[in-house]
Structure 1
Amino acid sequence: MRILEFIKQNFKNVEFHALGDVCDFLKTSTLSKDKLIENGEFPVVNSSKEFYGYYDKFNNDGNTICVASRGNAGFVSYVEQKFWAGGLCYPFRSKNENNINTKFIFYFLKSKENSIISNLVSFGAIPALNKSDLQNFKIPVPSLEVQNKIVEVLDSFTSLERSLEREKLAREKQYKYYLNHLITNARNSRILKLGEVCEFVRGGNFQKKDFLDSGFACIHYGQIYTHYGIWADKTKTFISPELAKKQKIANKNDIVMAITSENVEDVCKCTAWLGDEPVAVGGHSTIIKHNQNAKFLSYYFHSNYFANFKSKIAQGVKVMEVYPKNLAKVEIPLPPLDEQERIVRILDSLNELANGLSAGIPKEIELRQKQYEYWRDRLLEFPSKDSK
């Protein structure tokens, strides 16, 4: 990039200043969760990496940097619009935009986020960042021309990433629409009970402490929420062959379903096991055996059609559970195998575009993020004995 040459030519005499000397730290006000408004106009920034919620008032004008002071202490964000700053963040902006660009400060601090967390955050019961430590953190102040050029380049990366994120959301919406539409309107389908086409086998009893780097493939129920999708042919973990002999085993085309969760939305998350080798299945799970298209059943279990039944049979207060005997009573619109295969082909394609990690929008976002981080760090390498 030619801008690198331009910046190097202007490296000389770059001074470093304490953040508190060049920025105004702005007001905050604690806002309890019960005061949040679902359709509020202004986002609320607090200690989380996402917006805390929304409110109908604001206490900051926007174009502001926010650094979390508790919890995710040290996390750096930039808020363009008017917003409400809660009591667990430090909002601030440049004292003089003609001297130092607020957006430039943000990009520099973001490039040093790990350093801020490692060196300034205290890790007690709740991670915390002291305001004075942040105010004393030093930042480079090159010429305004250099600052603006850096901001221009990095803004172009973030703009592209945002457009990709919007496209991803559109693809996800399209995928979910067709998932629900095709499951509900499958050709020549019959309404049957799951118990008429499936056999339910409760999982075994191994624990996380039993995991090995190699051995007999296994699936723990917690991994279904975080690691596995519609289908899988490789496992994340293994147990010893001796322990596997005492477990319940899923074979190719079986469905592995988690039947315990902290909420109704996650309970009954599942994956179709398509690996050639058998896999041990842990507790709080059920193995669903059948003679249907495994992916079709997995898509069905991720549909709104199934979710409506699931909400009625889930039991519990703090922990939700769905018993296999109740699963057997749930209805499924079951088309012939050739129709199941047609639906799977369509949904596989849409799912890969929306959620696939090896192709489509998610892969493009990942590549652009790496590209952005690379150039951000290159552009913001200001040599100084005073830098942290």
Structure 2
Amino acid sequence: MPTPKITKKIDTIVYIRPIEKCNLRCQHCFIPPNPATMSDEQILSIPRQLSDAGVTTNVLLQWHGGEPLLIDPSRCERLIIGLNANKQGINFLHGVQTNLVVLRNFSKKKRDEWYQVLATYFESDLIGVSWDVDIRGVNLAKGCFYSYFEQEIKRFRKSRYFVNGFEPTLTITAAKPFLDIAKTFKTSTEFFKWLERISLNKIHIEKLTPTGDAVKNWNEIGVSHLEYSKAMGKFYLAYRRYKALHPESKLAISPFCDLEDAIKTGEQDNVCASGACQTSMFTFSKKGMIKTCTAIAEHSETQLENYQNKVKASCFECEFNPICNGGCPAHGNVIDASGECSGAYQLLQTIKQTNNNKQTIKNINTGELL
């Protein structure tokens, strides 16, 4: 059975960096912690600025950072009420991306205030919690992040504000340590079982890009386009095998679900992969508005333009071009030294062949491809 599609239909994604300070220092962060903070006036002017830019559709307001939970919860609530009261004809959904362990440093009163704000104004699956293998929280004692993370998940579920459950989307960066897990069926299965043990069923895996701190740590945590494609292809097959062995499993992993659907329909709904990162994605920070996603907001227009020119030259005839749109412009080259493209051609071929070939599906179910 194809994996269920979990990405919501969103026309425009808007990243807000209310604070760029963070309680962690991670090896892959594209926004190294700094004291930049947005004023109330800057945040409340976002609907008008979007309207002036021609945005009139469904908008995901993604509270980002830094670590967004470092702002005061009562201030966040006040700002959301103000934003919703001045929509300028735009339909806003509020999402957040947090490392979660920041809450352990707060008083019980302040944690409860955040639980209330998150439960009231944010849909559960639009609460993104960040988790990574080895590269996260390098300013903590080794291993602390992971035990702290599970403790905070449990605390959420004990809160009276989440009596119906706490099911955020787990966001993972496909850096070298994680892809080492993804390379074998055994280690992948152990990971799937851990996810189900702590009841995290919606997973989003982001490709690591050479931005921010990841650049200086690339030899340790980075992978080539080919290494990414091969490891993610194996992870996809392991996931399909795991789902065949555990039909009751609720695990849904993006980008697999999105890519299966996109290959089947020939259309890409995911804004990030649809080639719309400079038309349907905005970043707001203390510096103002930038018309692109937060991961590449620091890139110059010349860098992005050069990348797009390479896409037009090398990818136009590819069957997957309508799906990957040349990959993420945060990469310096469409095709790197490994010979693979940033759009992950070999991964897309693996997904396509798996779903088009009944014998391949049978082999997955019997474990012969693993």
Tell me, yes or no, whether TM beats 0.5: no
TM-score (norm 1): 0.23
Structure possessing the higher relative contact order (Cα contacts under 8 Å, 6 or more residues apart): 2
Task: Indicate the structure with greater helix content.
Answer: 2
